[in-house]
């Protein structure tokens, strides 16, 4: 009786007008099923994103997948992911979905400044805490910026969760349902936070992979830079130590002075690859090779609509392209006065106006200037601005010419011998003692570049395993030594500048004719170099005889250069012959002459080669 009464009482306790035991149990089961399905989707989504790390995908692709999975798993229509830039202290939107094109463009191009903007997004990053705004019209945490964003996006509620690695906030994940209020439970917010925590780890791993990839590329490129630098002399050891010391500074402007071919660009690359800017752009531009009409737009870029026929969206200049990295301004002495003024302004304020632009652009770039002339002397002559020189001359590196680094001639020659062996498939193993003596005693007015070209020519044109004196007959300074050390056997004639056979060029085989032309061209280029550097010229009759001997297939080594119009005319003819021999290819003609391509192009313009005469 008592037991039956107890059962009646229990039944009455659970029974009500809208609730039964069966219904309560069913609701609980339904909640468990919904929760289990959400957790399953959550785990599946995390697994899907994590699996991307095993594939060759970019960080951008991973961010895209995180945003898409967030929308799919939690049923949110608009999702955006932000990452913090440690260098600039900006909070940048990296990817978003569910927004209109204009809203999307605005979000992607207008980052938040953490030290200036007070809003939900910056608050999440600063505090590292989740913020859920259920109703924008009735929440004390809403700022003026939030209200503006709400008006633009028609946002009424939002959920913003930090992306964290340990205690460091790297960004945030933000989502809403357009103009629909969200009524999220604590369990749903917790699931969103769990997803964000896992996404943070995946993002950090992806960033680490990208950094490692860049580092490997940098190390590979640095191997080239380092092996190109041969430092045997005390002078160059001091230069290298000074360079490495300057590289540790972040944005110190550097001036590199040295003769043509001494390795100024290699020093500039060492400055970049040993600095904290490694991994960022390294850009080199020759100031003397840009048309005066284009130099400003090349340097600073131009806004859209500035030029008829220009790019519709405008163009970035080299200063903007080098942002974060290093910009080498080679041959800075050739810079136009009008651009010198603008460069000075940039160095002082680190900002510039694009051509046709009304707003300044700020960039973070280290300027390295290089020149083969003495800027201090040019300032005294009024050819270079003194104030710009003082601004560039903060850290100065002076490279000694090769003639003052005799100890390095042979190691450098051996380095290039190995390099060109690989290029041409040759097997030169060493340089004989006599040939080493010739190389060591040559003046090398063109410095390392001239030595490189000499070894290039030997490896290309000669055969064998040892570089002999006869291979270096074209090194004019040592013609006598080459003759004595490289005596030809009886019945054989010796080729090259040290003693070309008296036979007619037509009687020679094609290889010998090519070699004869190359020797003659290189000989007169050497004379031209002497002339341009103001050295004393031998008498005209001798050079006229020497020049005539070239066309007969015989070159007198005692012949010398000329001055004035006669010399220019002969130099012009030699350049024409080189271009003919190379079928108009300027690069090949320059290599044949032993000069750089820009020099060849300059002389082609100077002598008007290829231009049609007026009236023709």
Q: Per residue in 75-127, pLDDT tens? A: 888 999 999 988 788 999 999 999 988 888 888 888 999 888 999 999 999 99
Q: How far apart are CA 172 and CA 379, in angstroms?
A: 54
- Are residues 173 and 259 located together in one domain of the fold? no
The answer to whether 451 and 412 have CB atoms below 8 angstroms apart is yes
Residue 8 is assigned to a structural domain of this protein: no
- Are residues 137 and 165 located together in one domain of the fold? yes
Residue 437 belongs to domain with CATH number:
1.10.8.60
- Are residues 318 and 370 located together in one domain of the fold? yes
Residue 613 is assigned to a structural domain of this protein: no
- Are residues 61 and 187 located together in one domain of the fold? yes
In 399-479, beta strands by DSSP E: 430-431, 466-467
- Are residues 199 and 290 located together in one domain of the fold? no
Residue 9 is assigned to a structural domain of this protein: no
Looking at 400, 417, 432, the residue that finishes a domain is 400
- Are residues 435 and 578 located together in one domain of the fold? yes
Write down the residue that tokens 């010229």 correspond to.
537
Domains in the chain, number: 3
Looking at 344, 373, 400, the residue that finishes a domain is 400
44-70 tens-digit pLDDT: 766 666 676 566 678 888 898 889 888
Looking at 210, 237, 265, the residue that finishes a domain is 210
85 bridge partner residues? 90
Question: What mean pLDDT is reported for the chain?
Answer: 78
pLDDT at residue 211, rounded to an integer:
80
Indicate whether 189 pLDDT > 50. Answer: yes
Residue 339, domain extent: 228-400
226-263 tens-digit pLDDT: 546 788 888 888 999 999 999 988 889 999 999 998 98
| 262-285: b (≥16 Cβ within 10 Å) or e | bbbbbbbbbbbbbbebbbbebebb
Instruction: Tell me what the mean pLDDT of segment 6-32 comes to.
Output: 58
Query: H helices of 228-317, where?
Result: 234-247, 264-273, 295-300
Contacts of 132 (CB under 8 A, 6+ apart): 157, 158, 159, 160, 182, 184, 189
- Are residues 105 and 124 located together in one domain of the fold? yes
- Are residues 255 and 374 located together in one domain of the fold? yes
Indicate whether 164 pLDDT > 90. Answer: yes
342-383 tens-digit pLDDT: 999 999 988 998 888 888 889 999 999 999 999 999 999 999
């Amino acid at each position: 009786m008592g037991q039956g009464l107890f059962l009646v009482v229990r039944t009455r306790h659970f029974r009500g007008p809208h609730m039964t035991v069966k219904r309560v149990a069913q609701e609980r089961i339904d909640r468990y099923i919904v929760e289990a399905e959400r957790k399953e989707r959550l785990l599946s989504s995390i697994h899907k994103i994590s699996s991307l790390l095993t594939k060759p995908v970019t960080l951008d692709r991973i961010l895209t997948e995180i945003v898409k999975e967030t929308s799919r798993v939690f049923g949110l229509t608009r999702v955006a992911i932000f990452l913090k830039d440690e260098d600039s202290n900006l909070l940048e939107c990296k990817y978003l979905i569910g927004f209109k094109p204009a809203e999307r463009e605005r979000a992607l191009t207008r980052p938040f400044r953490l030290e200036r903007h007070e809003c939900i997004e910056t608050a999440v990053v600063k505090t590292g805490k989740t913020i859920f705004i259920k109703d924008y019209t009735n929440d004390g945490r809403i700022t003026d910026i939030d209200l503006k964003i709400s008006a633009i996006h028609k946002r009424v509620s939002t959920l913003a969760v930090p992306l964290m690695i340990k205690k460091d906030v790297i960004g945030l994940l933000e989502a809403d349902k357009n103009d629909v209020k969200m009524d999220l439970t604590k369990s749903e917010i917790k699931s969103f936070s769990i997803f964000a925590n896992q996404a943070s780890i995946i993002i950090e791993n992806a960033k680490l992979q990208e950094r490692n990839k860049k580092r490997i590329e940098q190390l590979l490129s640095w191997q080239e830079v380092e092996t190109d630098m041969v430092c045997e002399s005390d002078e160059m050891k001091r230069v290298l130590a000074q360079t490495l010391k300057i590289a540790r500074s972040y944005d110190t402007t550097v001036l590199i002075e040295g003769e043509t071919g001494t390795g100024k660009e290699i020093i500039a690359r060492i400055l970049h690859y040993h600095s904290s800017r490694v991994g960022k752009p390294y850009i080199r531009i020759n100031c003397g090779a840009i048309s005066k009409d284009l130099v400003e737009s090349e340097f600073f870029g131009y806004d859209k609509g500035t030029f008829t026929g220009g790019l519709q969206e405008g163009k970035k200049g080299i200063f903007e392209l080098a942002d974060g990295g290093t910009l080498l301004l080679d041959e800075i002495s050739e810079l136009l006065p009008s651009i010198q003024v603008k460069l000075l302004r940039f160095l002082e304020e680190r900002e510039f106006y694009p051509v046709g632009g009304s707003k300044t652009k700020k960039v973070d770039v280290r300027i390295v200037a290089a020149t083969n002339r003495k800027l201090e002397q040019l300032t005294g002559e009024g050819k270079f601005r003194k104030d710009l020189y003082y601004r560039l001359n903060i850290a100065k590196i002076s490279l000694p010419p090769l003639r003052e680094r005799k100890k390095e001639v042979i190691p450098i020659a051996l380095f290039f011998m190995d390099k060109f062996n690989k290029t041409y498939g040759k097997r030169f193993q060493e340089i004989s003692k006599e040939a080493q003596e010739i190389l060591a005693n040559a003046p090398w007015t063109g410095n390392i570049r001239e030595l490189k070209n000499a070894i290039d020519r030997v490896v290309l044109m000669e055969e064998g395993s040892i570089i002999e004196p006869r291979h270096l007959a074209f090194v004019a300074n040592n013609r006598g030594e080459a003759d004595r050390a490289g005596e030809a056997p009886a019945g054989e004639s010796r080729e090259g500048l040290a003693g070309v056979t008296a036979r007619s060029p037509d009687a020679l085989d094609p290889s010998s004719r090519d070699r004869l032309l190359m020797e003659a061209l290189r000989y007169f280029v050497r004379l031209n170099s002497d002339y341009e550097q103001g050295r004393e010229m031998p008498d005209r009759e001798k050079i006229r005889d020497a020049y005539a001997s070239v066309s007969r297939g015989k070159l007198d080594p005692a012949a010398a250069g000329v001055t004035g119009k006669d010399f220019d005319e002969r130099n012009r003819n030699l350049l024409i012959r080189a271009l003919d021999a190379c079928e108009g290819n300027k690069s090949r003609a320059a290599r044949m002459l032993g000069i750089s391509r820009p020099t060849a192009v300059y002389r082609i313009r100077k002598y008007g080669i290829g231009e049609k005469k007026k009236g023709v």
